[in-house]
Amino acid sequence: MDYVKLERGDDGVAVLTIDRQEKLNALDPQVVEEIGQSLLELESEGPRVIIVTGAGEKSFVAGADIAAMSTMDPLEAKRFAEIGHAAMALLDKSPIPTIAAVNGFALGGGCEIAIACDIRIAAENALFGFPEVGLGILPGMGGTQRLPRLVGPAIAKELIFTGRRIKAEEARMIGLVNHIVPQGEALKAAKEMAAEIAANGPVAVRHAKAAANRALDVDLISGLEYEADQFALLFATEDASEGMGAFVERRKAEFKGR
């Protein structure tokens, strides 16, 4: 692939890097398709955690490639949005936990990639925002749908309607970012968190992600029923026997992912 690089670690942590530094890692249809293809590849391999980041310290993803978008007709724009939605769904709905390591600009499509991940770790120089309305368009890769669910409708509408950019600290205060780290250390911090996640029972983590995602789409009673089902299913796994047995025996659990 030309713009997406994959690194697979022995610890079960995979890193997907968007590398188009001459364009501040901006998205055009090819880049978005490569992101989707890479995520499908990783999902078939089954790492325990996926980290998404941008190459260099200036930009996570600066947004969409405006020059490429400016020549699109409505059908081409619809196709661009559709491949974007498909790629973001692979982050959001994947059974594998995902962490965004955000360095520099995370604007427009870049912010949409970040909020499609489960967890966001930002360098102190990170800058977030949805500038689309200033271009006469709107966020087209899930921003209008995921941002209200993440930070609440009032704050989401303010950010989308004004196109205002916010720094990492404000992003953390509104719940857009989980943690802030010094410039240049977002990927390191993401790998440290990924190692914490990967040390746990992988089947349990995947079912926990499914249950947490379910909470966004159903009422409380339905969500609790789903949680109870997932809780019960895990008692049929080898990992559950190993985890609870290790606790009782006061030793470290050796999870096999089954």
Given this model, what pLDDT does residue 61 score?
95
pTM of the shown model? 0.93
| Residue 32 scores a pLDDT above 90 | yes
Domain coordinates in residue numbering, the chain: 4-198, 202-249
Least confident of 6-15, 123-132, 161-170: 6-15
| Residue 46 scores a pLDDT above 90 | no
- 202-249 placed in CATH 1.10.287.80: no
Looking at residues 246-258, what average pLDDT do you find?
87
| Residue 75 scores a pLDDT above 90 | yes
Place 9 in a pLDDT band, splitting at 50, 70 and 90.
confident
| Residue 27 scores a pLDDT above 90 | yes
Given this model, what pLDDT does residue 83 score?
94
Q: What is the pLDDT of residues 224-245, one digit of tens each?
A: 999 999 999 999 998 898 888 8
Domains 4-198 and 202-249 share a fold: no
Looking at residues 54-83, what average pLDDT do you find?
92
Residue 130 tokens, joined: 């949805």
Looking at residues 159-186, what average pLDDT do you find?
96
Given this model, what pLDDT does residue 39 score?
95
Percent of the chain at pLDDT exceeding 90: 83
Mean pLDDT, the chain, rounded, equals 93
- 4-198 placed in CATH 3.90.226.10: yes
Hey, which residues are catalytic here? 112, 132
Given this model, what pLDDT does residue 11 score?
86
